[in-house]
């Protein structure tokens, strides 16, 4: 039987995320704080059970993506905004569960979650394109089949 959820190595990724946040988070245009407090602490909140995986919609997300993977008509998936690797991990897991081809991309305003997504993808032996920009300015080179987000 296939596990319902992907491996999410929170104990390992929490210090990685904190280091990446210190390195990559920048003040938003126009001034203000960086997002380092959020990106650096999010994995610890998840590790302690104080934040939900994929916004508490992990089962819905997995089952929906798994159905698309099973149909075989939606291989190009874009994640719009990501605090960490959780949403991309669920896409990878859903498509792998069905043995389906996946072209996964993640777009975010901050490099920190993108670097964490690449860290996760490498651990999983998966390919994942990342793009540091506003999704409203993102122009993929080929059309995508599925776009999903959480807390946009």
Cα 61-14-120 angle, rounded to 5 deg: 55
**Topology of the domain covering 10-148:** Rossmann fold (3.40.50)
List, as one string, the DSSP characters of 12-70: HHHHHHHHHHHHH--PPTTS---SHHHHHHHHHHHHTTSS-GGGGTHHHHHHHHHHHHH
Give the model's pLDDT for residue 102.
97
Over its length of 152 residues, how does the chain's per-residue pLDDT go in tens digits?
456 678 899 999 999 999 999 999 999 777 788 999 999 999 999 999 998 777 678 889 899 999 999 999 899 999 999 999 999 999 999 999 999 999 999 999 999 999 999 999 999 999 999 999 999 999 999 999 999 988 76
Determine which helix (DSSP H) or strand (DSSP E) holds 90, and give its type and residue range.
Answer: helix 86-97
**Which residues have CB under 8 Å from 96's CB, separation 6+?**
102
pTM confidence score: 0.92
Give the model's pLDDT for residue 152.
64
Give the model's pLDDT for residue 4.
64
Give the model's pLDDT for residue 57.
82
**Cα maximum dimension of the chain:** 51
Q: Identify any residues that bridge with 106 across adjacent strands, giving them in sequence order.
A: 79, 130
Taking each helix axis as running N to C, give the angle between helix 58-71 and helix 86-97, from 0 to 180 degrees, rounded to the nearest 10: 40
């Amino acid at each position: 039987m296939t596990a319902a959820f992907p491996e999410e190595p929170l104990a390992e990724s929490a210090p990685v995320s904190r280091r990446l946040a210190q390195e990559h988070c920048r003040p938003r245009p126009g001034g203000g704080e960086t997002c380092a407090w959020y990106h650096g602490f999010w994995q610890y909140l998840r590790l302690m059970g104080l934040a939900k995986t994929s916004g508490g919609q992990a089962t819905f997300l997995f089952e929906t993506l798994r159905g698309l993977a099973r149909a075989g008509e939606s291989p190009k998936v874009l994640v719009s905004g990501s605090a960490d690797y959780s949403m991309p991990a669920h896409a990878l897991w859903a498509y792998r569960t069905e043995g389906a081809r996946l072209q996964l991309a993640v777009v975010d305003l901050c490099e920190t979650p993108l670097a964490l997504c690449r860290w996760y993808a490498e651990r999983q032996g998966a390919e994942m394109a990342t793009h540091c920009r506003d999704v409203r300015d993102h122009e993929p080179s080929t059309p995508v089949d599925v776009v999903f987000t959480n807390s946009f």
